[in-house]
Amino acid sequence: MQTKVFTSLFFTCLLLFLSACSEEKTVQVKKEIPPLAVNIITVKKEAIPIWKQYTGMTKASSDQEVRARVSGILEEIYFQDGQAVKKEQKLFKIQQSEYIAALNAAKAKKRQDEASLALAIADVNRYKPLVDEGLAPRATLEQYQAQKAGLEAAIFGDIAEIHNAQLNLSYTIVTAPISGNISARHVDIGNLVGQGESTLLTTIVKIDPIYAYFSPSQKDVRMFQKYRNKDKPDAFITVPSSMAEIRLDGYVDFKNNSVDPLTSTITMRATIDNKKGKVLPGTFVYVNLFINDKYKFLMIPPEVIFNDQLGSFVYIVDENSKIKRADIETGYSSRFYVSILKGLKDGDKLIISSLVKLKEGREVETIDVTQTQGIASILKENNLIPKKR
């Protein structure tokens, strides 16, 4: 019996000892958890460029129809469909023989009238002294003077006819009215063009610069007019694609003078630099309109904001180097930043890394990356600092 009691006491003591060791190890493990390394940015209320984004559609800055101004058989085509052409570049040649003949006939008519005028002048000069001396009738002199005046008028008409013939001959060589991209031709060599109508030969669109039309609401337009600080505010368009996002810069230079009654919007236009022809007319784009950069905001990156049943919050580092939840109220937002109306103040250390590991109360070691990952750096990296013009 004593042996059994002793054995039972022994195992009880052993279990108590092991339990105490386990608790001690747990305490040691808890004490040995190292601080979590996190990147932080120091938030600050400062002047931030404000951009507003709209959907829009591009349109050629000039769209010209190339038509035949004289009739005839098309003899030559000097371009390839779809190529870029320069202003005054030769595009088509219409048969010229008829117009060369008309020009030569007009010139011959002028020479004939000039010869007749020379004779009329000689007659006037010969008869004038005879009339002055009473040796010839004045009626004959007046007849020669009338012939002279008529021939002078005829020569002016000949000059006009020659000019018209030269114009018609020049129209047989059809040139580009603007620089741009040419469409496919609408006619082929051997076709009769310009017979009774100004035949459409092709079209040319100018895509540098290219226009981007968008339609903000009346409220946005009023805000824009109130806060803008440039006569031609900066703008840029982006074209999302599967390969890479295209961005082109420009400025706003047009606002319509009436409101669309169906949508309560006002059409505006951005003129966009498109020297490399990356964007074609009719492309769906996002138009980003610069509003102002003179007002101060406290901005943070949108990706660090959490949401739960209590609302929006972020994690900051308190004075004891521990993680602290900060409930916030947000205002204006974009894909690059969100303004904070309540919940943060200048100097707060906002955690922007290791977000899935954050737990309130945990100790952290901080690395301040405000200079490289702060809002100012984000704006610069994404070319959101307005250029001086």
User: Could you tell me which residues are beta bridge partners of residue 141?
Assistant: none
CA 54 to chain centre: 13
Q: Which residues contact 185 (CB under 8 A, 6 or more apart)?
A: 77, 79, 81, 201, 202
Listed residue (280, 282, 275, 272) closest to 232, CA to CA: 272
DSSP state, residue 353: S
Listed residue (269, 260, 266, 263) closest to 237, CA to CA: 269
Answer yes or no: pTM beyond 0.85. no
Cβ(94)–Cβ(65) under 8 Å?
no
Per-residue b/e over 137-155, b at no fewer than 16 CB within 10 Å?
Answer: eeeebeebbebbeebeebb
The CA-CA-CA angle for residues 175, 177, 183, to 5°, reads: 80
From first to last of the 389 residues of the chain, give the pLDDT tens digit: 445 544 555 555 555 555 555 555 444 445 567 899 999 999 999 998 999 999 999 999 999 999 999 999 999 999 999 999 999 999 999 999 999 999 999 999 999 999 999 998 998 888 788 778 777 788 888 888 899 999 999 999 999 999 999 999 999 999 999 999 999 999 999 999 998 888 999 999 999 999 999 999 998 999 888 888 888 999 999 998 767 788 999 999 999 989 999 999 999 999 999 999 899 999 999 999 999 888 899 999 999 999 999 999 999 999 999 999 999 999 888 888 999 999 999 999 999 999 999 999 999 999 999 999 999 899 988 888 887 66
Cβ(299)–Cβ(375) under 8 Å?
yes
Residue 246 and residue 349: Cα distance in Å, rounded?
Answer: 35
**What's the pLDDT tens digit per position in 126-157?**
878 877 877 778 888 888 889 999 999 999 99
Cβ(301)–Cβ(353) under 8 Å?
no
Q: Sort residue 45 into left (φ over 0), alpha (ψ -120 to 50) or beta.
A: beta
Among the residues of the chain, which ranges form H helices? 2-32, 97-132, 138-170, 218-227, 370-373, 375-381
Joined together, the tokens standing for residue 268 give: 């505006």
Cβ(224)–Cβ(291) under 8 Å?
yes
DSSP state, residue 357: G
CA 93 to chain centre: 36
Q: How confident is the model at residue 5, as a pLDDT?
A: 47
Joined together, the tokens standing for residue 99 give: 């117009």
Q: How confident is the model at residue 244, as a pLDDT?
A: 75
Residue 252 and residue 232: Cα distance in Å, rounded?
Answer: 5
Place of tokens 């031709």: 185
Q: How confident is the model at residue 66, as a pLDDT?
A: 96
Residue 186 and residue 204: Cα distance in Å, rounded?
Answer: 12
Query: In the chain, what are the domains?
Result: 36-52+296-381 (2.40.420.20), 53-60+206-218+231-290 (2.40.30.170), 62-93+174-204 (2.40.50.100), 97-170 (1.10.287)
Residue 110 and residue 131: Cα distance in Å, rounded?
Answer: 31
**What's the pLDDT tens digit per position in 82-102?**
999 999 999 999 999 999 999
Q: How confident is the model at residue 333, as a pLDDT?
A: 86
The CA-CA-CA angle for residues 227, 221, 216, to 5°, reads: 135
